[in-house]
């Protein structure tokens, strides 16, 4: 990973210019990082059959998604906001 892109290995075939969504899950912290990327180059990955090394340029800002049960404070704040609006 670099500021401008990523090197991916073991990728099924893609074409230059294809747009991808790259998902990196962090199960220990219940987070998922989502990146939009554009394929810049494709090379044959000699270490695996039917796999490629792909260089991608990252586009825009990555998205961080929290998953798992909501905290009690967040749930309490939401109920309070709904009650105040009514």
Q: DSSP letter string over the chain?
A: -BTTEEEEEEEPP--TT-EEEEEEEEGGGTEEEEEEEEEEEEEE-TTSTT-EEEEEEEEEEEEEEE-SSPPHHHHHHHHHHHHHH-
State pLDDT tens for residues 57-77.
Answer: 999 998 999 887 766 556 567
Calculate what percentage of the chain has a pLDDT beyond 70: 90
C-alpha span between 57 and 38 (Å, rounded): 5
More confident residue, 44 or 76: 44
More confident residue, 66 or 83: 66
pLDDT at 49 over 60: yes
Nearest 5°: the CA angle 15, 19, 25 is 115
Q: What's the mean pLDDT when you consider all of the chain?
A: 86
pLDDT at 6 over 70: yes
């Amino acid at each position: 990973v670099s500021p401008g892109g990523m090197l991916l290995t073991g990728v099924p075939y893609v074409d230059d210019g294809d747009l991808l969504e790259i998902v990196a899950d962090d199960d220990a912290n219940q987070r998922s990082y989502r990146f939009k990327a554009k394929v810049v180059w494709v090379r044959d990955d000699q270490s695996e059959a039917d796999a490629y090394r792909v260089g991608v340029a990252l586009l825009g800002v990555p998205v961080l998604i929290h998953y798992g049960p909501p905290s009690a404070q967040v749930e309490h704040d939401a109920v309070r906001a709904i009650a105040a609006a009514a």
